[in-house]
Amino acid sequence: MTTSTPGPTRVPRHYLMCRPTYFTVSYEINPWMDRARPVDTALAVSQWERLRDVYLDLGHRVEQIAPEPGLPDMVYAANGATVVDGLVYSALFRHPERAPEGPAYLKWFADRGYVTHSADHVNEGEGDLLVAGDVVLAGTGFRTERSAHQEAANLWGREVVTLELVDPRFYHLDTALVVLRGSEGAPRLAPGGAPPPFLAPLPDGAAPPPEAPHLAPAPAAQVPLDLAYYPPAFSPASQEVLAERFPDAHHATEDDALVLGLNAVSDGRHVVHTPAATHFAGALAERGYETIAVDTSELLRGGGGAKCCTLEIRS
Ligand code: ARG
């Protein structure tokens, strides 16, 4: 018997993750972190392994970067860089405690032959830079500087939409907004339908990337977009921008937002999220997604969930 599988379509993903071998809370740089409460590192590792295994079971490719002692937040791979069209924009962390993570992640990509750009402006990778179809949604307010949004736009030749975060509990964009469909990125299209010229300043001696099939002209309408976000995390002006651009987006409840339910990972069909986000799970199912609850409670001690632990590589 064949079963029909209606609903949104999955797009295979390529992820980078970092085992939380040295995970702990030894400093406090967001309101979720509390040095006074001991962390169960072994529990964090087993939750992380489960998350990785879920991705593998879904058929996604997962690579790993070696964790480094003294960098307890390195498990939050999403902050390590942002990769669009195979072009790696390095992270430049706001807090000195995390500063060495930027070069560590950049080296991982450079060692594997990626074209890399070393950031001049403070940005915390996919924590604040989320690809949604052919645009990049960019958070600011707590970590990433607005000037980094411009740097990213120049690098990728894509429109970057600035969104201002106003609640310190939602200090990164990925704590308040999730791209449910379209995070793999859509081709950039110039008005004539052709991909715009490559705008990135290339490192010395680097050849421009070859014409890649994913840059071939395609109607933007072929890439469906879907989003969920928590409106009160954003300034009134940014709430307007979101409402105008994404009128059909799901608005998360406060309960879901306060368990970092929006720090979820979607492959366009399956959404991996914390089991604590109960309303959100129901809303996703109504929209046709398959929900997969993965407990990341011990990783929440540092202020992150599934998405924070997952860097998407778009090559
Ligand atoms: N403790 C880390 C910090 O405050 C948590 C980062 C979570 N990552 C994320 N993508 N939101 O920087």
pLDDT at 200: 44
Strands (E), the chain: 14-17, 61-64, 81-84, 87-90, 115-117, 129-132, 135-140, 159-164, 177-181, 226-229, 250-251, 265-266, 270-273, 290-293, 311-312
C-beta of 80 in contact with ligand 1 (< 6 A)? no
C-beta of 174 in contact with ligand 1 (< 6 A)? yes
For residue 126, the ligand 1 atom closest to its alpha carbon is 10
pLDDT at 212: 41
pLDDT at 146: 98
DSSP character at residue 248: T
Catalytic residue among 117, 172, 250, 273: 172
C-beta of 261 in contact with ligand 1 (< 6 A)? no
Measured distance CA(284)–CA(288) in Å, rounded? 7
Q: Which residues of the chain have pLDDT under 70?
A: 1-6, 189-223
Measured distance CA(313)–CA(61) in Å, rounded? 10
What is the CB neighbour count within 10 angstroms for residue 34? Answer: 11
214 is catalytic: no
Residue-by-residue DSSP string for 41-70:
HHHHHHHHHHHHHHHHHTT-EEEEPPP-TT
Ligand 1 centroid, distance to 96 Cα (angstroms) = 13
pLDDT at 7: 75
117 is catalytic: no
Mutate to test the pocket of ligand 1, among 79, 92, 298 (most ligand atoms within 8 A of CB): 79
**Interface predicted TM-score of the whole assembly (ipTM), two decimals:** 0.98
Please check whether residue 73 is in contact with residue 97, taking contact to mean a CB–CB distance below 8 angstroms. yes
Q: Whose CA is nearest to atom 5 of ligand 1?
A: 303
Ligand 1 centroid, distance to 29 Cα (angstroms) = 9
pLDDT at 181: 97
Ligand 1 centroid, distance to 209 Cα (angstroms) = 31
Ligand 1 centroid, distance to 88 Cα (angstroms) = 19
